Amino acid sequence: MARKPYIGGHHVKLIHGGEEYFSLLLDLIRSASFTIQIHVYILQTDETGIAILDELVVAHNRGVKVFLLMDGFGSYHFDKVLFEKYKSKGIDLKYFHPFSYFNIGKIGRRLHHKVIVIDSKKLLLGGINISNKYHGTPTEKPWLDYAVLVEGSIASHTEKVCLQIWNRKYRNEPSMSHLLKQRSWEPMLVRMTQNDWFRQKNQIASAYKYMLDEAKKDIIIVASYFIPTRRLLKILIHSANKGVRVRIVLSRESDVAMLKGAITYLYQKLLRNNIEIYEYRTSILHAKVCIVDKEWTTIGSHNLNYLSEFFSIEMNIDILDKSFAENFTHELEEIIKTDCIKITKDEFHKSMAWYNKLMYWIQYKISSIIIHSLYFLNKK
């Protein structure tokens, strides 16, 4: 598969989860003049969600067309009364694959996007859902996550892709030929990539494999649910064994207990192959970020696991810019230094009793069985 080209002439800004992200999101909604396109996996009707929904109503009342697509499983607990309330107030609101026991075959095929497009000009894309736990509260810190604000022609292209999914006509991606003809090689070079394995879109997974395999000096991965495919794990190990420094930042605590055990099961293999592991301890880590050789960065919704690669519909932004990657690397290195605990090979072996290893192995195997079951259901 040919690699997707980069488009020049963009302005890209790194956005941190928490107050920075949600303040920006509200500002973007208030600035909209024509259209707002939102795709999100989880939208909860808590204080954060209601604030966003109310601002979308205000936008509609001044003549902005508002399209809001939520995943039917991730947003399953969205208040049904509020759904009808906001729909009646003018928000064009839909579920992607509404979840029901009669639709169990589609449980694994989820819209995992976290993307907002404003007036075809501004794109906010990352791994952040709309909920208090991503925003933070007076008593709880926000989950660690990132997004990017992109201004430039890629926003219009992304909006067209989102509309295809909205209309359920998303087999072929809109042409980028007009962007390629007009592109500038001025900074910053970006591309929007997708993963939708059932529709033969494997751009994110392919980009990861290619960039990790081509790495020369340094790989830093920040991953929330890190259970990579065998091929990706093999590439990571190969890169580490040829002298590339590979650092993986994971969460010390997880919102999915069984996945944390399955992830920990992989520690022994990673450590044995010179891969550095750091556990983030300040809050839950939910980010999906990778930087290679301080030149290439990818940020988005795609997790390094089987669900993202083979089931969910994912969207990332790849940024080919040395300055952006260097600054972001420096920030992540500060987080590693101040907010993480390094897992060493000796300490890990000493702390792991045989029954812990057995429990983690069982959790890893259960996760594998669930994945294979989802594959069977979705394929049918």
What single-letter amino acid sits at 293?
D
pLDDT given for residue 372 in this prediction: 61
Strand runs labelled E in 179-295:
189-196, 201-202, 218-223, 245-251, 276-280, 288-292
Under a CB-based contact definition with an 8 Å cutoff, are residues 159 and 72 in contact?
Answer: no
Amino acid at 133: K
End-to-end C-alpha distance for the chain, whole angstroms: 26
The backbone region for 200, taken as left when phi is positive above 0, alpha when psi lies in -120 to 50, beta otherwise, is left
Identify the architecture of domain 8-176 in CATH. 2-Layer Sandwich (3.30)
The span from the CA of 249 to the CA of 230, in Å, is 19
- pLDDT at residue 153 above 60? yes
The structural domains of the chain, with segments of one domain joined by +, span 8-176, 202-312+319-380
Helices 230-241 and 203-214 sit at what angle, rounded to 10 degrees? Answer: 20
pLDDT confidence tier of residue 108, bands split at 50, 70 and 90:
low
For residue 293, give every residue at least 6 positions away whose Cβ sits within 8 Å of its Cβ, in sequence order, or none.
215, 216, 217, 218, 219, 325
Tokens of 242: 């040829």
Classify burial at 352, counting beta carbons within 10 Å of its beta carbon; exposed 0-12, middle 13-18, buried 19 or more: middle
Beta bridge partners of 277: 248, 343
The pTM score is 0.91
> What is the per-residue pLDDT for 100?
62
Determine what percent of the chain falls in helix, strand and coil, rounding each to the nearest 5.
45, 25, 30
The per-residue pLDDT for range 308-318, each reduced to its tens digit, is 888 899 999 99
Listing from the earlier edge strand, what are the strands of the sheet with 35-40? 11-16, 146-151, 122-126, 114-118, 35-40, 65-71, 92-96
- For helices 354-379 and 257-265, the axis angle rounded to 10 degrees is 110
pLDDT higher than threshold 90 for residue 21: yes
Instruction: Provide the 8-state DSSP code for 198.
Output: G
What is the tens place of the pLDDT at every residue in 35-71? 999 999 999 999 999 999 999 999 999 999 999 999 9
In this chain, the answer to whether the domains covering 8-176 and 202-312+319-380 adopt an identical fold is yes
Q: Cβ–Cβ contacts within 10 Å for residue 36, how many?
A: 25
Task: Average the pLDDT over 247-262 and give the result.
Answer: 86
Strands 201-202 and 218-223: unpaired
The answer to whether residues 87 and 99 touch, using CB atoms and an 8 Å cutoff, is no
**What pLDDT, on the 0 to 100 scale, is given for residue 79?**
87
- 13 near 146, Cβ under 8 Å? no
CA distance 217 to 106: 41
CATH code given to domain 202-312+319-380? 3.30.870.10
Residues 6+ apart with CB under 8 A from 92: 65, 66, 67, 68
- Please state the length of the chain: 380
Stronger pLDDT, 106 or 197, i.e. the higher one:
197
Give the model confidence (pLDDT) of 158-197 as tens digits: 999 999 999 987 666 666 555 554 444 456 899 999 999 8
